[in-house]
Structure 1
Amino acid sequence: MDKKIVGAVLLVLLILGGIGFFLMRKEGPQPSPTPTTGPGPTEGIVLKIITRHASTIWKITKETFLNSDLAKQYNIVDLRFYSPNFALWPDVIKKEKPDVAWGGGPTVFNDLVEKGLVAPLTDPELLDEISSIPDDISGAEMKHYKDGKLMWVAAAISSFGFTYNKKMLNERGFPEPQTWEDLSSPVYGKMLPLPAISYARSTTSTSHSRIYQIILQKEGWEKGWVLIAGLAANGRPYGGSVEAQWAVQTGEVPIGIMIDFYGYELQLQSPDFIYVMPPGTIVNGDPIALLSTSSHPEAAQAFIRWVLSAEGQAVLWLDERINRMPVREDAFRTPKGRERMDLYERYNQTIALQAIQFNESLAGATYFSIAYYLDAVFCDTHDELVRTWKKLVDALYANKITQEEFERFKYELGKPLTWEKDGKTYTFTLEYAIEINEELKKNPAFASEMQSIWRQVAVQRYEGIYAQIPDP
């Protein structure tokens, strides 16, 4: 029996071996792979983009650009997005070597230019497209040059203001705010302990950081901080601009500071939402740039050309999920643009805005100082701030203090802090903010130490003022 089994197995193996030999002879010798010097036709180029834009913009960009003739011409098969905290951009750029930086505001991009991380825009077809973009809008630069070379171009424009829920305010008997000053009015403190205003931590939102900078430059350093203190005390800090907008949308608060397109988004949802561009705001150009780390500068500039084209502007910014202002007026003359006459009306209001003279260099020189100070003094110590502010507001409306006394207490509550360190006395003046800005940015230990000092001194101030206010 064993011999029969062994014989059968050998027969099967011989048959299989013969079939294999026959097939190998039929196919013939296999050619070796052809060497390639670049990505193959199925491989393509993957562009890497560092951005502050929301993921909705990533999605729409991938859907539309990757199906464009331009993407096919340059064999661009995918877009990979990175969205780190803005303080980490230089480090992430050096490590990941992205091709394009897109969105985040002029301060961030000017810093990248100074660090040598931005390459000039040189592609002739791109420069021809850029010639259709104005050099400035309402006094804000739309094109940034260094040594005569074009380093970044605005891909969109924005204004900054706040949105309020008209119905919610009217039902509660509160006025509709129209100015930055209104947001720090004691009238909204009457809602406490419920917050009236949503605002984001300065270290987590570039758009809200810009609003704080606008207030400080419009009002002046001391008065600006007093105004921000009242705004913060009337409201509640949130983890980011999206969360702050969501608080308005859901009715958690009736008012929220925000960039314009967040306000337009809410207005599309309900006529109860009103976006306000207050006197003393600015128009911003939101940049796009080629990075010096790019491995595919030609393809990267082709992508930038698409973003800056009238068609690209319309497809991206005028989408009902985005509602941003294009930098090009002719985007509204495209088929998509003709569907958005509501935004065209807002566009014309924006470009006609009488904006303040905003000092972009000063904004960059104080960016991190303002961010870390504001978070420590008005966010981390928010409970203590609100406790004192509520007592102050209640005392005013109970006629326990005069309006003049209220203003004096309000000034003491918000004016820049003074503290002692290593036997020396310091005050958070504009000059001091400029002096420590770079150290705060590059030295986390120093930033942590300063925030700890500011928190401690802020609490001491709030408790001291609380004790001075008459009981309502």
Structure 2
Amino acid sequence: MQAKAPVQQPQKGITLRVITRHGYDILDVAKSEFLASDYAKKYNIVNVEWLSIDPGEWVDVIKASASKPGQEIDVAWGGGPTLFDLLVRQGLLRPIDSDLVISVSKEIPDELSGAIMKRTADGKLLWVAAAISSFGFTVNTNYLQKAGLPMPDKWIDLANETFAKTLPIPSVGTADASVSTSNTRMFEIILQDYGWVKGWQILTLLGANARIYDESGLVRDAVIRGDVGVGTTIDFYGYTAQLEKPEFCRYIVPSDGSIVNGDPIALLSTTKNPEAAQAFIAWVLSTEGQKIWLDPRVNRMPANPRVFDTPEGKKREDLRIAYENTMKVLAINFSDEVASSYEQSLIWFFYSTITAVHDKLQNTWEKLAKAKLDGKISESEFLRLVEMMTDPTKLSFKDPKTGKVETFTESYAKSINEALFTDVDYRKSLIEAWKKAATARYDMILEELKKLG
């Protein structure tokens, strides 16, 4: 009797798990297009699972996935260079070794407007920019006109008393640094552009003028609806607003400087599907995958300029012009290394002294600005109180770990940056100390205003 040949079981399809900061306007388009591609079919990829995780949780979530069979995360996509460089320092990126990715990555410039588009170490490719962006603000001209507000041109414009005149109804929108990597990048631009003390003055008063949202996309939506007159946004949110409300909305790159960012994609050390994961990365970087940025629901500038030579690219002359204009952005002398050295401190100090005590901050600023606008205090008194209210190097608090009284200098921010990331209890205690100190400072300003009449 002839033995029957064993029945060959069909190969189980691969599900890729991707941790990301992209919104579902991008992810929904990417998933459907990728799964229909030859890349997915060749590598038997049948699904992509998105993990939309707050940036502060990435390291823990990625590390935890390594001990959960079948739940390992394969790719990191979107979130900005600082976040990806953190993954590098934590040893969570696996060098890209696929000829497919290395070949297509050659179509991506090594740098644009002084910004690195690829990160390498010891000659090995760790991450590649999948899209590029600038940072600025989106305005609703209809709102500004009705409110009698000027068209802003600089970051500092959003922090002046003119934009306080609509308070307690805010005319500005921004997002909290603890939930938005794009807004954190803007705050880093302001700090490096204006310096530590002046930069924090701008951030504090911008926050005081603003309604603070817990998603950057909500800032864009608020501008489109006309809830606020201006919102701090990454460029593609501005382009989307321009498409939806061309008669009112406009994206502005601040004349006091911005930067061009490469938004990375990378292979994670936790992946169990390196070939399939790199096929996805190759697709994202290819002209085929880069077409997702051209979708009217996305409106983002590609990292691979060859996509503009495709039939789809030729239909988006507006984005091609935006791409060329971005190359001309007045780029400040920006350091990723400096930004990384105090990023956690920036995030949690912003949260503690601006977001968490926002009602007190906004009420104090409303009264101070109104006193100036109504001529009840002199220019010199106004500037003295602004300095008292915003200078981080004059805000005293007790460090819960050392017991020493400190102020929030740049050197102190750098010295505690790592601890804020690794020691949750310390971070919570310091947040409380900062909130208490900030509240006391705003109360002191209110008392000063009472004395001045």
Place the TM-score, normalised by the shorter chain, in its bin.
Answer: over 0.9
1:464 aligns with 2:444: yes
> Could you list the per-position Cα deviations for residues 161-220 of structure 1 after superposition, in whole angstroms to 9, with x for gaps in the alignment?
111111111122110101001001100111111101111111111111111111011110
Equivalent residue for 2:396? 418
5 Å-filtered alignment, 1:403-442, equals 403-416=379-392, 417-421=395-399, 424-442=404-422
5 Å-filtered alignment, 1:326-365, equals 326-365=302-341
Report the alpha carbon displacement of residue 345 of structure 1 after superposing the two structures with TM: 1.0
1:46 aligns with 2:15: yes
Equivalent residue for 2:68? none
Query: What amino acid sits opposite 2:162 in the alignment?
Result: V
> Could you list the per-position Cα deviations for residues 22-56 of structure 1 after superposition, in whole angstroms to 9, with x for gaps in the alignment?
xxxxxx999696476xxx34x21111111111122
> Could you list the per-position Cα deviations for residues 2-22 of structure 1 after superposition, in whole angstroms to 9, with x for gaps in the alignment?
xxxxxxxxxxxxxxxxxxxxx
In structure 1, which of residues 73, 84, 89 is the aligned counterpart of residue 53 of structure 2? 84
Distance 1:465 1:307 in 2: 52
* 8 Å contact from structure 2 (residues 159, 203) kept in 1: yes
Bigger Rg over Cα: 1
Alpha carbons of structure 1 residues 31 and 59: separation in structure 2 relative to 1, 3 Å: farther
* 8 Å contact from structure 2 (residues 209, 362) kept in 1: yes
Report the alpha carbon displacement of residue 311 of structure 1 after superposing the two structures with TM: 2.2
**Coordinate RMSD, CA, aligned:** 1.8
1:383 aligns with 2:363: no
Report the alpha carbon displacement of residue 91 of structure 1 after superposing the two structures with TM: 1.9
> Could you list the per-position Cα deviations for residues 137-167 of structure 1 after superposition, in whole angstroms to 9, with x for gaps in the alignment?
0111001011111110000001111111111
Alpha carbons of structure 1 residues 391 and 73: separation in structure 2 relative to 1, 3 Å: same
Distance 1:75 1:370 in 2: 43
Residues paired across the two proteins, number: 440
In structure 2, which of residues 370, 387, 395 is the aligned counterpart of residue 394 of structure 1? 370
Distance 1:126 1:245 in 2: 33
Report the alpha carbon displacement of residue 95 of structure 1 after superposing the two structures with TM: 2.6
In structure 2, which of residues 292, 300, 319 is the aligned counterpart of residue 324 of structure 1? 300
* 8 Å contact from structure 2 (residues 224, 245) kept in 1: no
5 Å-filtered alignment, 1:108-187, equals 108-187=83-162
Which residues of structure 1 form unaligned runs of 5+?
1-27
What TM-score, normalized by structure 1, do the two folds share? 0.90
In structure 1, which of residues 359, 373, 377 is the aligned counterpart of residue 349 of structure 2? 373
Q: In terms of mean alpha carbon deviation, does 203-212 or 50-59 score higher?
A: 50-59
What TM-score, normalized by structure 2, do the two folds share? 0.94
> Could you list the per-position Cα deviations for residues 365-421 of structure 1 after superposition, in whole angstroms to 9, with x for gaps in the alignment?
211111111011011111111111111111111212222322221121111022235
Distance 2:215 2:53 in 1: 13
Q: Any idea what SS the aligned residue of 1:47 has?
A: strand
1:308 aligns with 2:308: no
Equivalent residue for 1:24? none
> Could you list the per-position Cα deviations for residues 62-111 of structure 1 after superposition, in whole angstroms to 9, with x for gaps in the alignment?
11111111211111111111112212212221232211111011111111
* 8 Å contact from structure 2 (residues 131, 302) kept in 1: yes
Query: What amino acid sits opposite 1:98 in the alignment?
Result: I
Distance 2:208 2:131 in 1: 33
In structure 2, which of residues 246, 250, 253 is the aligned counterpart of residue 274 of structure 1? 250
Equivalent residue for 1:246? 221
Which residues of structure 2 form unaligned runs of 5+?
66-71
Equivalent residue for 1:286? 263
1:72 aligns with 2:41: yes
Alpha carbons of structure 1 residues 31 and 345: separation in structure 2 relative to 1, 3 Å: same
* 8 Å contact from structure 2 (residues 398, 433) kept in 1: no
Query: What amino acid sits opposite 1:163 in the alignment?
Result: T
Query: What amino acid sits opposite 1:308 in the alignment?
Result: L
* 8 Å contact from structure 2 (residues 260, 326) kept in 1: yes
1:211 aligns with 2:155: no
Alpha carbons of structure 1 residues 310 and 423: separation in structure 2 relative to 1, 3 Å: closer
Distance 1:245 1:55 in 2: 15
